[in-house]
Amino acid sequence: MNITFPHMGNTYIPAKVLLDFIGVDYIIPPLCNKKTLETGVKISPECICLPFKTIIANLVNGLEAGADTILFGGGCGQCRLGYYGALINEILSDMGYKFKYLEIDFGRMSFGDIIKEIKTVADIPAIRIFTGICLALRTVFLIDSLYKKAGHCRCRELGRGATDAVMREFKKNVLSVKGFAEVKRLIKKTFKELEKIKLDETAKPKKIAVIGEIFIACEPFVNLEIEQKLGTMGVEVHNHLSISEWIHEHFILNLIPFKVNTRAQIAAREFLKAEDVGGHGVETVGNSVLRGKDKFDGIIHIYPFTCMPEIVAQSAFKEIQKKYGVPIMSLVIDELTGEAGYITRLEAFVDMI
Amino acid sequence: MKTGSVTVGIPRGLIFYDHGRYWESFFKRLGIKTIVSQKTNSFILNDGVVCCTNETCLPVKVFHGHILSLTDVADYIFVPRYLSVSGRELCCPKLCGLADMIKYNIEKQVKTIEININTRHLKKDTCQSIRQAAETLGINYHKMLSVFKDTIVQNVSFGAPYHANHVSGNTGRPIVVLGHSYMIYDEYLSMGLIQKLKNKGFSVFTPANLNGYIKKMNAEPFVDKFFFNTGLENLGAAFTYMNLSGISGVIYLSPFACGVDSLTLEFIERKLFKKGIPFLKLTVDEHTGEAGFDTRLEAFLDMIV
C-alpha cells in the first residue's frame, strides 16, 4: 500500500510524521505550483472553488507517482468541502485510476473511527495509530508556532529577506528528515536561527489580520504568499486561520460532550443570526468583529471565487467597518488571479491605513 | 396590532416557487392579508443588483429586488430562513444567511418576519422563531404553531407529494429541464425557457414532476448521505429520467457561479455522457442577452431533432 494526500499549507509535515510512525509507504505530491494548478483546472468543473482544483491535481500527481490509496480530510455541512470526496472519486475513476479512498472527517469522527478507517487498509495496532495521531497533532502545533515566530521576525528584521531565507531552508530540509524526533529537532533549530536574526526593536509595525476561507489563507501558493508579501512591506500579519486553530476548534472541542462555541462564533452573533452558514462564514464575521475590537489597523478578507459561506459573510462587513472603524478589503482568488494586480491592491491597502 | 390590519409581503423569489403556496395558506389561516410581489422584471432585477455585493448569485440578487418592491405596500416582509428541510438535507448557505444579508444589503429599514425551518433541530430553532413572529404580528403563539404544523411541516419535509402542475400534457417529444425551481419557473430569469420549448412542440418535464421519494433514492452518489436539498432534487431527477426511454435531451439552467450546481452539474454531465443523452448546460447571469441564449437553445434543439 502506498498512500498519497493533498496539500493544504504545511499539513504535509504532520501527515509525514503520522505515516512515518505507523510505518506506511507514502508519496508526497510536489508542493503546489503552476503546473499543479493547470492540471487541476483542466479536469475540474468550471465553477468549483479553487481548493478543489489544487487538491485534485495533487492527488493526480500522487497517483501518477505510484500511490494506490488516497488519504483525504473531509468535512460536512453547508460547505462544498464535505462533498469533494464523492466528486474526486468520480473524476479520478473516470480518468482510469484505480485507488482506495480513505476519508477522515475530523468534524464527525472520533479517534476510534479514524483508527478503524485506517485499519481497513493496513493492519496496524490501534495503539500505534493513536500515538501516531497524537504526534502528528503535536507537530501541527509546533509548526504553527514556528510560522508565527517567522511572521513576527519578518516585519521587524533589519536585513530584508533574512527570515525568508531561514524559512526556505526549513521547507527544503523538512522533506528529507524522517520521524517526529527529527522534525522536532529541525523545528527547534530553525527557531534558534530565527532568534538570531537582528530585529529592529523600536519598530511599531502596522497590524493586519487575515481572515476568510481557511484553505486559501493557509496555502502559500494559492494566496500568492500573502503573509510574506505583507511582511516584507513591514506589516505584522495575524493569520488566525491555521491548521492548529482548526484542529482545536473542530476536533479537540468536539471531544467535549457538550457544544462549545468558539470566541469567534460568539462574537459573530452581533451581526449574524444564523448559527451556521457553512465553512468559515460565521467565523469570518466573528473574527472581523474581534480584530475590530482589538484595534487592528486593517483586515484582509481572502476567499476563493464562488465560495458560498464567505459571500454571506461579506454582506456584514459594511456594518462592521462602520461600527469598529476598521478597514476591510476583500480579495477574491481564483486560478486567473494575476500577481501584479494583487500586489498593487495589497500596497494600496497598506498605504491607505 | 390588531390582526387583519397588517399586510405581509411575500417576495416572489427563491423558495417561493417550491413552498410559496404553503406560506400563503399559512398566513391566510392566521387571518393575515398577504401580498405577493409581482413577477420578476428588469426593474426588480436592477434594484437587486445594485444593493448586493457583486459576487452574490443572481437569484439572491433578484430576491433583494422583490423585497425592495414590497417595502411600500406591505407592513412586514416575510423572509424564511431555510436551514434544513429534512434529516440529511441541507440548504444552500445563502438561504441560511438570507435574512442577515437582507438586513445589511438593504439600507432602507425593512421590517421582516423571520421563520426558521430546521427539521434537524426542529423544536428549539423553529419554535423560537415562531414565538418571535407571533409576538410581532400579535397572534397567539400556540395558534401559530398549530397552523404552522398543519400547513408547512407536512408539506416541506421529506417525501412530500410534489405537484406536477408544470407538465405540459401534450404528446410532443419529451425533454427534461433541470435546475433550481427559482430559476426554471421564474419566467424572466429563465427567459421563458419552458414556454419556448413548449412552443417548439416538446413536452417539458422538470424535477417537480417526480415524486420526492423516488428522486431521493436515485440521487447517486448522495443517497442517504448529507447533501444540499436542491442538489439532491436535480441529481435524483436527472438519474430517474435518464433511465426512462425516449428522453430526447436534458437542459440544465444554472445561475452563474452557483456553488451547488458546480457539483451536481459535474455528476449529471458525466453520467449522461456515458449514457449518450444530449445535454445542454445554460448559464445565466444579469448580463445574459436573450439573443445569445436563444441561439444556444436553438442549436441544441436542432441537434437533437
Edge-first strand listing for the sheet containing A298-304:
A235-239, A206-212, A298-304, A328-333
Residue pair B98/B14 in contact by the 8 Å Cβ criterion: yes
CA atoms of A65 and B211, how far apart (whole Å): 46
> Is pLDDT above 50 for B161?
no
Average pLDDT over residues A178-187: 91
Note whether A91 contacts B266, CB cutoff 8 Å.
yes
Q: Which of B53, B92, B266 sits opposite A315 (nearest CB)?
A: B53
CA atoms of B132 and B70, how far apart (whole Å): 21
DSSP string, A299-312: EEEEEETT-HHHHH
Q: Which of B56, B90, B266 sits opposite A45 (nearest CB)?
A: B266
- Which residues on B lie below 8 Å from A77 (Cβ)? 90, 226
Note whether B226 contacts A77, CB cutoff 8 Å.
yes
Look at the block and give the residue holding cell 482589538.
A294
User: Which residue did the predictor score with more confidence, A108 or A290?
Assistant: A290
DSSP state of A2: E
User: Which residue did the predictor score with more confidence, A52 or B3?
Assistant: A52
At A106 the pLDDT is 65
> Is pLDDT above 50 for A3?
yes
The tens digit of pLDDT for each residue in A16-61 reads: 898 888 888 899 999 988 899 999 999 998 888 888 999 999 999 9
Helical spans, DSSP H, in chain B: 16-29, 42-51, 58-70, 93-96, 98-105, 127-137, 141-148, 154-156, 181-184, 193-199, 212-218, 229-242, 259-275, 290-304
Q: Which of A68-77, A263-272, B58-67, B229-238 has the lowest mean pLDDT?
A: A68-77
Residues 6+ apart with CB under 8 A from B65: B13, B40, B43, B44, B45, B46, B47, B48, B49
Nearest Cα to A310, choosing from A92, A81, A148?
Answer: A81
Note whether A309 contacts B228, CB cutoff 8 Å.
no
- Cell numbers that stand for A336 in this block: 486567473
Residue pair A150/A199 in contact by the 8 Å Cβ criterion: no
Residue A126 is inside which H or E element, if any? Answer: helix A126-154
Note whether A78 contacts B92, CB cutoff 8 Å.
yes
Is residue B96 very low, low, confident or very high in pLDDT (cuts 50, 70, 90)?
confident
Average pLDDT, chain A: 87
Note whether B56 contacts A316, CB cutoff 8 Å.
no
Note whether A306 contacts B262, CB cutoff 8 Å.
yes
Average pLDDT over residues B256-272: 90
Q: What is the 3-state secondary structure of B120-178?
A: HHHHHHHHHHHHHHHHHHCCCHHHHHHHHHHHHHHHHCCCCCCCCCCCCCCCCEEEEEE
At B159 the pLDDT is 42
DSSP state of A157: B
The type of residue at A118 is I
CA atoms of A85 and A339, how far apart (whole Å): 30
- Which residues on B lie below 8 Å from A277 (Cβ)? 93, 96-97
Give me the half-sphere count of Cα atoms (radius 13 Å) on the Cβ side of residue A343. Answer: 8
Note whether A274 contacts B100, CB cutoff 8 Å.
yes
Q: Using beta carbons and an 8 Å cutoff, which residues of B are at the interface with A?
A: 52-53, 55-57, 81, 83, 90-94, 96-97, 99-101, 104-105, 114, 221-222, 225-228, 256-259, 261-263, 265-267, 270
Average pLDDT, chain B: 85
Q: Which of A78, A273, A316 sits opposite B90 (nearest CB)?
A: A78
The type of residue at A304 is P
DSSP state of A6: -
Stretch(es) of chain B classified as CATH 3.40.50.11900: 173-304
Note whether A274 contacts B256, CB cutoff 8 Å.
no
* CATH no. of B173-304: 3.40.50.11900
DSSP state of B1: -
Which neighbouring-strand residues pair with B116? B81
- Which residues on B lie below 8 Å from A87 (Cβ)? 263, 266-267
Q: Using beta carbons and an 8 Å cutoff, which residues of A are at the interface with B?
A: 45-49, 76-80, 82-83, 86-87, 89-91, 94, 271-274, 276-279, 281, 305-309, 311-316, 318-319, 332
Residue pair B180/B208 in contact by the 8 Å Cβ criterion: no
At A169 the pLDDT is 92
Residues 6+ apart with CB under 8 A from A20: A178, A179, A180
Q: Which of A330-339, B102-111, B203-212 has the lowest mean pLDDT?
A: B102-111
Note whether B266 contacts A83, CB cutoff 8 Å.
no
Nearest Cα to B209, choosing from B183, B175, B248?
Answer: B175
- Which residues on A lie below 8 Å from B57 (Cβ)? 311
Q: Which of B55, B114, B270 sits opposite A94 (nearest CB)?
A: B270
Q: Which of B81, B92, B221 sits opposite A308 (nearest CB)?
A: B92
> Is pLDDT above 90 for A83?
no
Please calculate the CA angle A46-A47-A50 and round it to the nearest 5 degrees.
95
Residues 6+ apart with CB under 8 A from B54: none
Note whether B55 contacts A314, CB cutoff 8 Å.
yes
At B122 the pLDDT is 59
Average pLDDT over residues B68-80: 89
CA atoms of B91 and A79, how far apart (whole Å): 10
CA distance A310 to chain B (A): 9
Q: Which of A78, A86, A316 sits opposite B100 (nearest CB)?
A: A316
Residue A88 — left, alpha, or beta (φ > 0 → left; ψ -120 to 50 → alpha)?
alpha
Residue pair A299/A309 in contact by the 8 Å Cβ criterion: no
The tens digit of pLDDT for each residue in A119-172 reads: 887 788 888 888 988 898 899 999 999 999 998 899 898 888 889 999 999 989
Domain boundaries, chain A: 2-134, 205-353
Assign domain B7-156 to a CATH class: alpha beta
Counting every residue written for chain A, the total comes to 353
What is the rounded radius of gyration, in angstroms, for the C-alpha atoms of chain B?
20
Is residue B38 very low, low, confident or very high in pLDDT (cuts 50, 70, 90)?
very high
* CATH no. of A205-353: 3.40.50
Give me the half-sphere count of Cα atoms (radius 13 Å) on the Cβ side of residue B158. Answer: 12
At B1 the pLDDT is 45
Note whether A80 contacts B263, CB cutoff 8 Å.
yes
* CATH no. of A2-134: 3.40.50
Nearest Cα to B213, choosing from B81, B86, B23?
Answer: B86
Please calculate the CA angle B230-A304-B238 and round it to the nearest 5 degrees.
25
Q: Which of A106-120, B149-163, B207-221 has the lowest mean pLDDT?
A: B149-163
At A189 the pLDDT is 94
Nearest Cα to A268, choosing from A304, A209, A317?
Answer: A317
Look at the block and give the residue holding cell 433550481.
B180
CA atoms of A293 and A287, how far apart (whole Å): 10
- Which residues on B lie below 8 Å from A313 (Cβ)? 97
The tens digit of pLDDT for each residue in A245-281 reads: 877 777 777 677 676 778 888 888 888 887 778 778 8
Residue pair A214/A280 in contact by the 8 Å Cβ criterion: yes
Share of chain A above pLDDT 90, in %: 29
Q: Which of A92-96, A249-253, A310-314 has the lowest mean pLDDT?
A: A249-253
CA atoms of A334 and A47, how far apart (whole Å): 10
Note whether A312 contacts B101, CB cutoff 8 Å.
yes
The tens digit of pLDDT for each residue in B103-132 reads: 888 877 788 888 888 776 656 778 888 888
- Which residues on B lie below 8 Å from A306 (Cβ)? 55, 257-259, 262
- Which residues on B lie below 8 Å from A91 (Cβ)? 266, 270
- Which residues on B lie below 8 Å from A314 (Cβ)? 53, 55
